[in-house]
Structure 1
């Protein structure tokens, strides 16, 4: 088969890549709010803030000398952070403003640019295949594993969403480079493409050197196996090293990529003359890396060491590993854990394994097979590497089209593509309305209006990123973690969510975070972060004190700071207070005064006490109001009615539902009102109140949201707990009718309706009001265990 220009392959590659990129864009924009940047949190908000600065007209010099990201110090942002995509998109947007016509919003333009770059990356990706049938079949496999292959439909600002484009281009350029060398062709253009793709990849992603290390190892393995000539490996390694050097220069002399093991390996392999010298070059690479290694990547090594020790503990008799703070932060995220068996895309894996098994004497197939074998253990170690592993399996699976008769390849591949497209739902990540969003916007507005540009805000990484984006004030900590010095600062800043006394945290700010600082500093407290639990079910405040676990029995620092609003505090002056946030000014000396409460502030503080601290403290707070609660807004008036004696709270709840008051526990009458009712019902169950009373609230929530399968599912379980078996069946039936795809909730409930053996067991138990027996029966089913833990 001719391996030259193939018009049908090019047309298919353009069509498939354009379709997948457009599909991702449609999914994103169909769920995005009017301002797409409202979706950006944590590291996404941090990176996007640089783009917003450029669009607002600030000079590029603010990126060369950035006073905001690690205040009060000034850092070179272009050298410290991977923000070249923000730089390019921002300058492009500013350039388009000189042309007449209405330009889209900056956030929409930014996201659209990401999707365009992503589409070009897919074009390079599918161009690595040999025929139109392989391209279409690979496109089908890519669509079937869309979530595993990319995050672009959900989080455009992630570094890898633009960077992966140049990873694909580097692989395609490497194949083209080998092809030109095999033909003794003049390969300057191919070498330049490869060089620029490596440079751009290193510029855009802080983990690019690790991915390129796998690429270099694959070439090294092919050399040792006799599949490649030493001259080609040396040539490619020189281009690897030159691309990394060029990226370092473009990042104003940043030495991060030069201190990576990839650069040491590229320099050593560039002197390779044969198989024997390859072994010596490998030893030279280890020596070079030992000479230039630093502590900036120590957190990654700590985490990988922790994950390996955890696996050895699981399969053997090794003692359980002890995680450092930063390793514990990673371990608490689902993407940094091993995949479950149910999460593996079996058709894609089977196709990829079949491609590996059909080992063919072609450079591209051998390279893809070795990259797949190299990334597979990493993916099994942590799911985050799926973006490197699954694309290789897609390419290998697409090459399986050559097993078919030539006349059948393209029609069958197109049929598989249509089947894959039809089986994957057009459902993106919904733009959820965060209960604290409105209050967060008010807080950011207060910071912009009542603080000076040189003031510094101290908070956790997530809130700090939002402060930089929305308020343009200096922060001490941010989510871009590739600096040992920054990680040390973030470690101490995160003590805000630990268990330190106010005096100890005051000393942390004065001695660790802002030594010698003479300006004004503020502490922003986020209640959600204060009481947060990570994806592994661990209390975050416990992880913060991993170095001194004996402190975990003390009160939380953020909780103490929030409650200073009503007290005199040594070293802190409350400035702003809401239900979800508080802002306090750091006082180098002296005693702060309690905040002057307005009606809204008093209500927010009371709701905090009620929902976070308990009924007694909330009742004590509202007793100080006397009869003035009647003057509050209806929503807060209803909330004040609830803060009576603890034993009467459920009576007040019941009365509020029956009267259909405009608010309930400070939740205004809105589409979120039904969710508020469900929250109160769960609270009643936790307090040991009558299940029948909780069922009343769930019933009201279902009436307010008649098309919500979730509301009917919760109502079904509430009725099950109250011994109302027939009514529970009706609720589950309604939930099943409303759901497009059954969830665990309705799967469990649907078992009650099924004619299988479980129906008799569960229904007989619930019909007698014996919830314990029904619970035991349901727990035997895998899909119900987690749902019934509470």
Structure 2
């Protein structure tokens, strides 16, 4: 199953089919000795369609060009060919920047910085490092130059242009390694889909034999790569650059594995690539020595039969899940808003609820689920202060500054706790330790919203608080 748990179709769900197409085109480009213009144009277009629905696609493409650079410094692809691929990436990045109405987050991203740094290394390396490219110490030098250059250039461009839209991404990564915490980071990491990969996933991979088969394939690839230089040259000459493709896809698999382990949601990219790598068990170039002893059809049929035992059980489990979306309290809320509030009444509340309010009632809102904008994150933080332990007077004053007329309070956000330290009041304790220990404001508002707010609607899930002007 490639779907991520508990979530409806997400932005990356719409992007992923274009990534499959993009990787197919890239594999074809790596396979042919001479790149034609049509292939580069197709790669550029697929990049654009991959990035447009999901601006975080840049991080996936970052792993791709990093893998290609690693393949290059290992000597499996010449720098001229890689530069042509980088050109396609650069053009697609600029086009996406324009089509996204000047989304500056793209031009100051690690992806953009990495493209420039790799190009610079490819230009300068032959002049500065005049030695045999396959020597290991050169791999280390160029790899460190790429890492240091990418981070430095990204930091400088963000500083020069004053862009902080993706600052929270670095903080999320810091939280994974050193336990860093702040409000924006906890808003992500407290959600299960942004936590580390759960232990059940590798267990399921193992039970379906997907992981064992991939490990065998990976081991054979490593053996091929570490064979003597003469044999590698024969593979490159007669295998249609077969070894180059293997090394790239193996490195890409490692990159996807790291992403999925750090952020469970990104196993969306890992699982299909595991299946692609597992299909190499049918490769005569890799397993020709085994096919001399066992019929290929017999081996493949046996593996599929063993996989089907657990696979059929998984399918049956998924087919048995029956459900229907129903949220009557929210329907009551939206109907009340349409009937009892003015068209220009401004609303604030939880991000998912605000999306429904905007879509269904067309009322103005001050925050919504798009969190990749520094200004919007700041507004959302003010809105969510209703779930802090701050004084009601202070929260009201900040909401009035945003122009809010009505606040939609959800008691579930006040009391729900997905894991220790992840209720909204606990998240605010990290951000606002001065008020730690006080009763959460949302709890007080649920009992009596006066004198700073007026309760004008209430049902089992929602309470609408009118904010009287001072």
How high is the TM-score relative to the length of structure 1? 0.50
1:249-648 matched pairs, under 5 angstroms: 249-270=98-119, 272-273=122-123, 276=126, 279=142, 285-293=150-158, 294-310=163-179, 322-344=180-202, 345-346=205-206, 347-359=209-221, 360=224, 361-402=242-283, 403=287, 404=291, 405-408=295-298, 411-412=301-302, 415=305, 418-419=308-309, 421-426=311-316, 427=318, 430-431=322-323, 437-511=327-401, 514=402, 517=403, 521-536=405-420, 538-564=422-448, 569-589=450-470
* Alignment check: 8 A CA contact 2:455 2:464 kept: yes
C-alpha distance in structure 2 between counterparts of 1:573 and 1:407, whole Å? 73
| Equivalent residues of 2:348, 2:354 under 8 A apart | yes
Partners of 1:453 and 1:473 within 8 A in 2: yes
Paired with 1:283 and 1:503, the residues of 2 have a C-alpha distance of: 47
Structure 2: how far apart are the matches of 1:544 and 1:467?
Answer: 25
Match of 1:232 in 2: 81
Distance 1:253 1:177 in 2: 30
Do the aligned partners of 2:27 and 2:245 also contact (CA within 8 Å) in 1? yes
1: distance between equivalents of 2:416 and 2:8?
25
Q: CA deviation at 1:577?
A: 1.7
- What CA distance in whole angstroms lies between the structure 2 residues aligned with 1:500 and 1:197? 49
Q: Indicate yes or no: 2:19 matched with 1:150.
A: no
Larger radius of gyration: 1
Would you say the 8 A contact 1:230–1:275 is kept in 2? no
**Tell me, what secondary structure is at the counterpart of 2:52?**
helix
Shift of 1:171: 0.9
Query: Which residues in structure 2 correspond to 1:615-694 (within 5 Å)?
Result: none
Q: Is the 8 A contact 1:456 1:475 kept in 2?
A: yes
Residue 409 (structure 1) shift = 5.1
> CA, structure 1 residues 324+150, in 2 after alignment: closer, same or farther (shift >3 Å)?
same
- Deviation string 1:582-615 (CA, Å, 9 cap, x unpaired) is 11211112xxxxxxxxxxxxxxxxxxxxxxxxxx
CA distance in structure 1 between the partners assigned to 2:268 and 2:189 by the alignment? 19
Compared CA separation, residues 233 and 283, structure 1 to 2 (3 A): farther
- Change over 3 Å in CA distance of 1:421–1:286 after alignment to 2: closer
Rounded Cα–Cα distance in structure 2 between residues aligned with 1:161 and 1:538: 27
- Per-residue deviation, residues 668-696 of structure 1 (Å, max 9, x unmatched): xxxxxxxxxxxxxxxxxxxxxxxxxxxxx
CA distance in 2, matches of 1:154, 1:227: 41
The verdict on how the C-alpha distance between 1:406 and 1:425 changes in structure 2, with shifts beyond 3 A counting, is closer
SS of residue in 2 equivalent to 1:425: helix
Per-residue deviation at 1:580?
A: 2.0
SS in 2 for 1:362: helix
Shift of 1:419: 4.0
For 1:386 and 1:195, the matched residues in 2 are separated by 25
Preserved CA contact (<8 Å) 2:391 2:441:
yes
In the alignment, the residues of structure 2 paired with residue 377 and residue 286 of structure 1 have an alpha-carbon distance, to the nearest angstrom, of: 18
Question: Which ranges of structure 1 fall in alignment gaps of 5 or more residues?
Answer: 1-145, 311-321, 590-790
Q: CA deviation at 1:574?
A: 2.2
Indicate how the Cα distance of structure 1 residues 424 and 253 shifts in structure 2: closer, same or farther if over 3 A, else same: same
Counterpart in the other structure of 1:56: none
Q: Distance in 2 between matches of 1:537 and 1:261?
A: 31
Structure 2 runs not aligned, ≥5 long: 130-141, 225-241
> Quick one: structure 1 residues 156 and 356, their matched pair in 2 at CA, closer, same or farther if it must change by over 3 Å?
same
Q: Which residue in 1 is equivalent to 2:50? A: 201
> 2:236 aligns to what?
none
Looking at structure 2, the residues matched to 553 and 341 of structure 1 have their Cα atoms a distance apart, in angstroms, of 34
- Supply the distance in 1 between the matched residues of 2:198 and 2:334 (Cα, whole angstroms): 40
- Describe the shift of the 1:175–1:355 C-alpha distance in structure 2 as closer, same or farther (beyond 3 A): same
- Residue 162 of structure 1 is matched in structure 2 by 14
**Partners of 1:157 and 1:452 in 2: how far apart?**
33
Q: In the superposition, relative to structure 1, how do residues 389 and 421 fare at CA in structure 2: closer, same or farther (>3 Å)?
A: closer
What is the TM-score of this pair, normalised by structure 2? 0.81
Report if the CA contact (8 A) 1:268-1:281 is conserved.
yes
Aligned residues of 2:47 and 2:92 also touching (Cα < 8 A): yes
Matched position secondary structure for 1:452? coil
Cα displacement (A) at 1:390 = 2.7
In the alignment, the residues of structure 1 paired with residue 255 and residue 20 of structure 2 have an alpha-carbon distance, to the nearest angstrom, of 16
Checking the alignment, whether the CA contact within 8 Å between 2:176 and 2:262 is kept in structure 1 is yes
Tell me by how many angstroms 1:244 deviates: 0.8
- Conservation of the 8 A alpha-carbon contact between 2:406 and 2:464: yes
1:256 partner SS: helix
CA drift of 1:407 comes to 4.2
Using the TM superposition, name which of 262-271 and 445-454 deviates more: 262-271
The separation in 2 between residues aligned to 1:445 and 1:522, in whole angstroms, is 15
How far apart are the structure 1 equivalents of 2:177 and 2:151? 21
